[in-house]
Amino acid sequence: MISRRVFLQNGIKSVAAAKLIGTAMAPGMLLAESVPALKGKARQVVIPTHEHFGDIEERLDFPANWEITLQPMLGHNAPVLEHDEILSRIQKPIGTRQLRDLAAGKKSAVITFDDLTRPTPTYAVAPIVVEELLAAGIPENRIVFLGSYGTHRNLEQDEVVRKLGSNLLRRFAWVNHNTWDNLKEIGATAHGNLVKINRTFAAADVRVTISGVKAHAFAGYGGGAKAILPGVTGFETVSYNHEVVMKRLTRPPAGVISMFKNEVRLDMDEAARLANVDFSVQILYNGKRQVTHVFAGEIVEAHRAACRAAVQHYQTKAVPNPDIVICNTYPQSTQGGRYKWASTVREGGTSVLILQHPQGLSAMHYWEARRAGMNGRTYLDTVAAPREPFPGNTQLIVYSQYMDKRQMLKFPSNAVFASTWADMITQLQARHKGDARVAIYPYAAIQHMETKLDEPV
């Protein structure tokens, strides 16, 4: 925990260059060109926002009499790996041979990458993977990148360049995964899941996945085999894992992230091995989405090694019973409608969700859309259906420049919204007269509480 005194000593020095939140992006449709600054003296905090869209630092201003605690994850300032350090880790794989040895004599390769719903800085690692494949003799025009996002919507070119960088896009082709068509059946898992996989992925001589690792609601941690299932499998394979296998999921006790006794994760792991993934790269990142750890090699073993590091890296000590909890959804804002840190606020307090991202919440997830449309329901029924309120007498306030009505309808019925920081402060001051204790989680989407893995006996 950063004390108020240390925060004031260190934090104020860094705020001068950061624009007041709401003014950092160029104005566009529906966006304010400016927002008023807080009147009078203010305490100031800088948070990161706009992942994949500049990774901008924005400033939050608070009343001078409020007590502010900034609570980052343990690895928020971890050293960044340079090119040669990443290469060194890729050339020392876990559970398999070096990639260039695996690729020697082969004629084609496919490399998966995730979409903008994931924070992964793929552009920092993918060029090094390509170097290894080229060194093995695979022709440049036979290396293809494949979007790995399961039943999410397709990517457009401007989104892919944010994941891979313009240099790679000029040299190598990329394709979207199609969860509905052009699939190849490769067998069934022990859980009874018939695995159908992207045919381009299956046809390549060398198959490589690149993933970021962070906590996941039911897979334990993201990354690893999730690049295959749901990443590049068919819709019915994904549905079986998310529905049938999910019902068998043994929930771990509080303070434990389940990886080794997790039926959903084990089904994913087996699917990845059925897919004959040759090489996998797992990435951990710091508070600026920069690469800090790389674990490469066999897809399951390398991923488990990454998770053992992640359980410490993303760990965060909760601030006990603050009046106000502020959760910044960076660096996974497009899926930021989750409230795991809200439970730490005191009874009657206020939870604030900051969602500063031009794409707002994800617009399409075909698996979720099918569930929403079951029994003949349409979106008109969804709009009319009553939404559950935020629990207890805690207030939820969502701050964003980018929120539209469709996205507002995804939040609890008693949530309120602010499009300027001045409006946010006005609402907070109306609820909290005088002093207030504020806890800020600057990377709330990837921070998790003190926990451990369910290591095998």
Contact (CB, 8 A) for 231 and 209: yes
Contact (CB, 8 A) for 155 and 178: no
> Residues 172, 301, 52, CA angle at the centre, nearest 5°?
40
**Residue 211 placed within a domain:** yes
- For the chain, the average pLDDT equals 91
For residues 190 and 221, give the distance between their C-alpha atoms in angstroms, rounded to a whole number. 21
- Does residue 17 register a pLDDT over 70? no
Q: Does 268 share its domain with 229?
A: yes
- Does residue 379 register a pLDDT over 90? no
**Residue 456 placed within a domain:** no
Q: What pLDDT is recorded for position 216? A: 93
**Checking DSSP bridges between strand 109-113 and strand 143-147, what pairing results, if any?**
parallel
Q: What pLDDT is recorded for position 35? A: 65
Q: What pLDDT is recorded for position 376? A: 78
Q: Does 355 share its domain with 424?
A: yes
Residue 46, classed as helix, strand or coil, is: strand
Q: Which residue has the higher pLDDT, 389 or 146?
A: 146
Domain boundary among the residues 289, 313, 337 is at: 313
Q: Does 65 share its domain with 163?
A: no
CATH number at 279 reads: 3.40.50.11440
325 forms beta bridges with 351, 439
Q: Does 226 share its domain with 199?
A: yes
Task: For 153-170, write each residue's pLDDT tens digit.
Answer: 999 999 999 999 999 999
Contact (CB, 8 A) for 2 and 388: no
Q: Write out the residue range of the structural domain in which residue 195 sits.
A: 83-313
Q: What pLDDT is recorded for position 38? A: 65
Q: At what angle do helices 263-274 and 299-313 cross, to 10 degrees?
A: 140
Q: Does 20 share its domain with 143?
A: no
Q: Does 292 share its domain with 417?
A: no
Q: Does 329 share its domain with 440?
A: yes
**Residue 78 placed within a domain:** no
**Residue 457 placed within a domain:** no
Burial 6-22 (b: 16+ CB within 10 A, else e): ebeeebeeebeebbbbb
- Does residue 122 register a pLDDT over 90? yes
Q: Is the pTM higher than 0.95? A: no
Task: For 394-444, write each residue's pLDDT tens digit.
Answer: 999 999 999 999 899 889 999 999 999 999 999 999 999 999 999 999 999
Mean pLDDT of 228-254: 94
Mean pLDDT of 4-30: 60
Q: What pLDDT is recorded for position 292? A: 98
Q: What pLDDT is recorded for position 152? A: 94
Q: Does 123 share its domain with 236?
A: yes
Task: For 300-346, write each residue's pLDDT tens digit.
Answer: 999 999 999 999 999 999 999 999 999 999 999 999 877 788 889 99
**Residue 77 placed within a domain:** no
**Residue 453 placed within a domain:** no
Residue 65's pLDDT band, with cuts at 50, 70 and 90, is very high
Domain boundary among the residues 264, 292, 313 is at: 313
**Percent of the chain at pLDDT above 90?**
78
**Residue 454 placed within a domain:** no
CATH number at 425 reads: 3.90.226
**Residue 357 placed within a domain:** yes
Q: Is 219 left (phi over 0), alpha (psi -120 to 50) or beta?
A: alpha
Instruction: State whether the Cα torsion 331-332-337-343 is positive or negative.
Output: negative
Lowest average pLDDT, out of 34-38, 53-57, 87-91, 451-455, goes to 34-38
Q: Does 195 share its domain with 279?
A: yes
Task: For 277-303, write each residue's pLDDT tens digit.
Answer: 999 999 999 999 999 999 999 999 999
Domain boundary among the residues 292, 313, 334 is at: 313
- How many domains, the chain? 2
Q: Does 166 share its domain with 98?
A: yes
Q: Does 250 share its domain with 286?
A: yes
Q: Does 123 share its domain with 264?
A: yes
